[in-house]
């Protein structure tokens, strides 16, 4: 399979799934009434004006729009020269996550988060499908490059 259709399929899938889930959450969840799913997981409605974990919210939405546009441009440049395999999957997930959160920033001026993972009183900051794709993509990217580096250092 050629690289471009695979990338477009993965990016589209992540962005569309992210969009649909966020719009459903906004339409159906009251911010004051989270829904318990499991003893460590609930659905909430959080509007995040910052970056990951709500960091740097004071910088404003325009700052994050610019950063995201530049990140997407760098991802596209990297994709042009990217080898195949797990690294391609990783970059596609990262790209899809970036697009998903960019859609929120453009349409509602903030990112909608709704997955609340917690243990006791400790809560991981709320996140969404795009954030999950970004995290999984970054993890795969790191492992793929570590494996590639180990193989190269052993002369395989």
> Residue-wise over 128-152: b if at least 16 C-beta within 10 A, else e?
bbbbbbbebbeebbeebeeeeeeee
C-alpha distances in Å from residue 31, one per residue of 27, 103, 138, 141: 11, 21, 30, 35
Whole-model pTM? 0.86
Give the model confidence (pLDDT) of 73-103 as tens digits.
988 888 888 667 899 999 999 999 999 999 9
Give the per-residue pLDDT at 45: 96
Q: Which residues are catalytic?
A: 113, 131
Q: Average pLDDT over the chain, rounded to whole?
A: 89
């Amino acid at each position: 399979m050629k690289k471009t259709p695979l990338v477009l399929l993965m990016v589209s899938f992540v962005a569309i799934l992210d969009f649909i889930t966020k719009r459903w959450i906004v339409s159906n969840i009251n911010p004051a009434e989270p829904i318990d799913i499991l003893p460590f997981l609930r659905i909430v409605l959080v509007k995040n004006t910052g970056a990951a974990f709500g960091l740097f919210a004071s910088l404003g939405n325009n700052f994050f729009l610019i950063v995201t546009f530049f990140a997407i441009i760098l991802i596209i440049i990297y994709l042009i020269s990217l080898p195949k395999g797990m690294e391609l999957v990783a970059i596609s997930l990262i790209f899809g996550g970036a697009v998903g959160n960019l859609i929120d920033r453009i349409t509602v001026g903030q990112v909608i988060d709704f997955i609340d993972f917690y243990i006791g009183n400790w809560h991981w900051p709320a996140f969404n499908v795009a954030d999950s794709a970004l995290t999984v993509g970054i993890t795969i990217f790191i492992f793929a490059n570590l494996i590639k580096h180990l193989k190269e250092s052993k002369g395989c």
